[in-house]
């Protein structure tokens, strides 16, 4: 969710990066060994004791949260009915494939003109290794995963304000930043600047570590040569035969490196949610949703638009417009309900939730985000630039380019994530017609990959504020600290769930954990009430 600012580094940022690259890595390792750095509190499949006989639960919404709730409650013995607005399940867990048509709010229709088998994930596109909940559902439902390359040393870091706007390989910036830090720290160590905090033995160990960490030479210097080129790349790589001997390339001088600001990208894949290994379902993110929907079968009723939610001491009554049946008004009832409708929609539905929950519902806004999928006739990033998966980071409005982590070396067209932006930039992309979003993404992307202009085949652009079933990307609290307890609390016979009611917002894991917690409490209430 990080929104990168385009600005030159300050001294403070430089120092924080030193910590991020060196100190934090060491800290994470130590925390991991102690078991403290595990992001997800998921502790295996939920175990609900037998449901009270004849108890029915309505689930509103067939996204990840709704389908998790429906599967588990059904397995516990509840009668379950799921109402879904769309004609398919998944919500934001969504994939656009060759031949698909997508109509956004405002009526613009995009036909996905990709080559057979190609796809684009407009919503979630990554499943981190530490999101144990969603991974467990993939395991249980046989959703095949493959590795997604998050960080690739051969991809670029790019700034319009550095190196005349030319992209630089991540490998070079990463190696040089580490190298120069190590060189500088070696110098001050040898000059005695750390004598107050380090013993002689500490200093010797630190210097040895820095030589390895920074690819320093035996004099503790980071200079052009084979040690540095073994990390950052060669002018002429090691080969065979007559000209087999490698020729080292030149390291960037420290001032050029620092003033470029490109080091600001180096910690991007260090966070728990973005570090390797990270996965994607083979064939598109909605393979998860499809597996869940198949598991639920006809428990999910599609094209049902909820218009009213009521509850009293005996149960829940929901009115919906049956879009599959000429908009007929239908009333359905249950003992309890799990409501996973995004609050952007729920705030517009006639409901009788309690005052505190209503206040959360009516004050939660939804963030803006834009993604553009671009298909090219040729995988030029692989063929010309040796980039296989991974991400290029840029200060251009497209923010990043992510290369496909599948079908490597294929001779058929390939699809890039050509823009993924937030905030002020995303608002502006969202305000444009889809075809202009695509052409802008191409225009910006070609500043990094000039081949884009000639190789472009097709594009699709999804602005989340124009997605009809969410009206936005993910929930933003007005005051999360103050409101969270009210938002997650069960309101008599209804409990809300979804990414918006978690501390992993916008992640599918947040939806899973929120849902499991919600149905645990619903079950407690239902078993407590049984026989009353």
Question: For binding to another protein (CB under 8 A), which residues are involved?
Answer: 3-6, 85, 105-107, 305, 341, 343-345, 347-349, 362-363, 365-368, 395, 397, 399, 423-425, 427-428, 430-431, 463, 465-472, 476, 478
Residue burial 157-172, b: 16+ Cβ < 10 Å; e: rest: bbbeebeeeebbbbbb
CB of 85: closest distance to another protein in angstroms? 5
CB of 417: closest distance to another protein in angstroms? 18
CB of 342: closest distance to another protein in angstroms? 8
Start-to-end C-alpha separation, the chain: 46
Nearest CB to another protein, comparing residues 317 and 347 = 347
Spatial distance between the Cα atoms of 196 and 213, rounded to a whole number of angstroms: 23
CB of 106: closest distance to another protein in angstroms? 5
CB of 13: closest distance to another protein in angstroms? 16
Structure-derived torsion over alpha carbons of residues 500, 505, 506, 511, reported in degrees to the nearest 10: -60
CB-based burial label for 485 (10 Å; 0-12, 13-18, 19+): exposed
Nearest CB to another protein, comparing residues 150 and 421 = 421
Question: Phi and psi at residue 46, in whole multiples of 5°?
Answer: -70, 140
Element housing 247 (H / E)? strand 247-248
CB of 362: closest distance to another protein in angstroms? 6
Longest dimension (CA), the chain: 89
Nearest CB to another protein, comparing residues 239 and 468 = 468
66 in Cβ contact with 59 (< 8 Å) = yes
Close Cβ partners of 510 (under 8 Å, ≥ 6 residues apart):
498, 499, 502, 503, 504
Spatial distance between the Cα atoms of 238 and 213, rounded to a whole number of angstroms: 22
Does residue 381 come out as left (phi exceeding 0), alpha (psi in the -120 to 50 range) or beta? alpha
Nearest CB to another protein, comparing residues 221 and 439 = 439
Gyration radius (Cα) of the chain, Å? 26
Nearest CB to another protein, comparing residues 430 and 515 = 430
Nearest CB to another protein, comparing residues 8 and 478 = 478
Nearest CB to another protein, comparing residues 473 and 508 = 473
CB of 20: closest distance to another protein in angstroms? 21
Nearest CB to another protein, comparing residues 341 and 516 = 341
Which tokens is 414 given?
């390939």
Nearest CB to another protein, comparing residues 419 and 458 = 419
CB of 403: closest distance to another protein in angstroms? 22
Give the β-pairing of 304-311 and 316-322: antiparallel
Spatial distance between the Cα atoms of 285 and 93, rounded to a whole number of angstroms: 6
Question: Phi and psi at residue 334, in whole multiples of 5°?
Answer: -155, 170
CB of 247: closest distance to another protein in angstroms? 39
């Amino acid at each position: 969710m990080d929104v990168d600012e385009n600005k030159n580094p300050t001294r403070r940022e430089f120092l924080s990066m030193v910590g991020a690259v060196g100190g934090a890595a060491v800290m994470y390792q130590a925390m991991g060994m102690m078991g403290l750095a595990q992001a997800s509190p998921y502790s295996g499949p939920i175990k609900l004791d037998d449901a009270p006989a004849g108890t029915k639960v309505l689930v509103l919404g067939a996204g990840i949260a709704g389908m998790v709730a429906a599967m588990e409650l059904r397995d516990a013995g509840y009668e379950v009915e799921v109402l879904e607005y769309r004609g398919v399940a998944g919500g934001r867990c969504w994939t656009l494939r060759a031949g698909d048509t997508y109509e956004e709010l405002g009526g613009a229709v995009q036909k996905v003109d990709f080559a057979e088998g190609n796809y684009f994930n407009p919503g979630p596109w990554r499943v981190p290794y530490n999101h144990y909940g969603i991974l467990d559902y993939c395991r249980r439902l046989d959703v095949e995963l493959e590795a997604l390359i998050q960080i690739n040393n051969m991809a670029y870091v790019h700034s319009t304000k550095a190196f005349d706007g030319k992209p630089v390989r991540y490998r070079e910036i990463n190696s040089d930043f580490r190298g120069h830090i190590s060189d500088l720290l070696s110098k001050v160590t040898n000059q005695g600047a750390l004598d107050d905090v380090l013993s002689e033995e500490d200093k010797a160990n630190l210097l040895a570590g820095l030589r390895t960490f920074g690819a320093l030479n035996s004099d503790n210097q980071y200079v052009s040569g084979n040690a540095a080129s073994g990390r950052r790349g060669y002018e002429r790589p090691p080969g065979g035969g007559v000209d087999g001997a490698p020729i080292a390339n030149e390291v960037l001088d420290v001032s050029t490196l620092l003033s470029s600001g490109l080091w600001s990208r180096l910690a991007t894949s260090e966070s728990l949610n973005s570090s390797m290994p990270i996965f994607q379902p083979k064939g598109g993110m909605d393979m998860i949703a499809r597996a869940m929907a198949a598991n639920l079968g006809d428990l999910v009723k599609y094209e049902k638009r909820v218009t009213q939610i009521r509850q009293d001491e005996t149960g829940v009554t929901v009115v919906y417009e049956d879009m599959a049946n000429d908009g007929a008004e239908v009333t359905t009832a249950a003992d309890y309900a799990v409501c996973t409708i995004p609050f952007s929609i729920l705030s517009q539905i006639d409901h009788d939730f309690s005052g505190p929950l209503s206040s959360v519902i009516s004050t939660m806004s939804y963030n803006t985000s834009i993604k553009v999928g671009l298909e090219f006739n040729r995988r030029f990033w692989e063929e010309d630039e040796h980039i296989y998966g991974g991400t290029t980071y840029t200060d251009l409005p497209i923010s990043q380019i992510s290369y496909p982590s599948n079908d490597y070396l294929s001779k058929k067209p390939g699809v890039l994530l050509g823009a993924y932006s937030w905030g002020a930039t995303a608002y502006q992309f969202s305000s444009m017609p889809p075809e202009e979003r695509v052409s802008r993404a191409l225009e910006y992307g070609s500043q990094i990959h000039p081949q884009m202009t000639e190789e472009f085949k097709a594009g699709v652009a999804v602005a989340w504020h124009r997605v009809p079933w969410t009206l936005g990307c993910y929930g933003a609290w007005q005051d999360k600290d103050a409101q969270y307890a009210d938002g997650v609390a069960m309101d008599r016979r209804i409990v809300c769930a979804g990414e918006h009611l978690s501390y992993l917002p916008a992640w599918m894991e947040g939806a899973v954990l929120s849902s499991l917690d919600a149905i645990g409490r619903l079950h407690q209430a239902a078993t407590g009430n049984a026989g009353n």
